Amino acid sequence: MKPPHDHLSTWQYDAQTREGEVDIAVFSRRLKLRHHLREDPIKETAPEPVRRRFWELLKQYLHVDHDSRYNNPDAKPIGAKSLYQELTSLAGIEPEPDGFDSWYCYDVLEQHIIKCEWEDFYDGVDVVAKRLFETTLWREFHDETNKILAEENVWWRLDEKGQLGPPLPKYFSHKIASLLDEQLGQDEFAPARRQFMKARRFLEVAPVDPENSIKEAVSSLESAAKILCPKSKSTLGEVLKEWKRKKRVPKLLVEMLEKYWGFATSAPLVRHGSSQDSNMTNAEAEFCIVISAAAIKYLIDTLGQKE
């Protein structure tokens, strides 16, 4: 038996007559004349064009589950009913009975995607990503979802781990995943891992907090340094002086890290309280995350064992 939706909604029909694509080269998108494209990147809402385009993408991976009358010849990985149940459970709302009816389940799931709260919509993107992450369809879904988000001026992106979060350059995202899994994945570096993850979270969760992000990024480096040099009971600055004295790390690299440490220590409201207000930016916080990540990886790879 065929899936229940051979009929087309008005929007679906219109989309198909345009070959199913939203052309960003057309006048209003090319010149960013649509209201949601003129503003800063969208973080705390999910405009209808984003939801509609995501639904069209999601349909490619759905099948009617829990009904022996419907086969799944293309082995599509996501059951519409089970997905609807998970999304409504996450949203804390009572599911519609028709969401478990084989004829109406697609319609009900579509309406949930289109009308749910914005947080629930992005939760749904996260859930679908996790379901597809270990399948051969993951890369396609990842790229197409990020294309939709980028073209509709949404800030969030799917990362290489299948999680929705702030955008990171592809190379950097891969390196961060490698750092957390390989270097800081060891039990002895658990404190540094926790602090590094907190540094990222301060830039991922609105309202963003660049001061605390910088604080945790530098603290993660300090924790890793103290673990590598357990004889030192003081600050990162003292550890760096010890490494310079013993020539364990090239002098100019130590001096670079000392300046990085000094920047964070002297910046208002980062490491210490201050009578001055802070003017730290997200870009500076992202810079510090990159520096800490690179420094931690270098130190672990270079020093290897504890002193």
Closest CA to 218 of 273, 267, 283, 166: 267
Given pLDDT bands bounded at 50, 70 and 90, which one contains residue 297? confident
Summarize pLDDT for 22-67 with one digit per residue, the tens. Answer: 445 566 666 666 655 556 788 889 999 999 999 999 999 999 999 9
- Cβ–Cβ contacts within 10 Å for residue 249, how many? 19
Instruction: Dump pLDDT digits (tens) for 236-254.
Output: 888 888 888 888 888 899 8
- Where residue 1 falls among pLDDT bands split at 50, 70, 90? very low
* Non-local CB neighbours of 78 within 8 Å, separated by 6+ positions: 58, 61, 62, 63, 128, 131, 132
What is the rounded distance in angstroms from the CA atom of residue 107 to the CA atom of residue 114? 11
DSSP result, 48-88: HHHHHHHHHHHGGGEE--S-TTS--TT--SEEHHHHHHHHH
Mean pLDDT of 219-227: 88
The domains of the chain are located at: 10-158, 170-303
**pLDDT single digits (tens) 186-216:** 677 888 888 888 888 787 665 678 888 888 9
Interhelix angle for 48-58 vs 105-115, to 10°? 150
Peptide bond into 207 cis (omega under 30): yes
Which CATH code is given to the segment(s) 170-303? 1.20.120
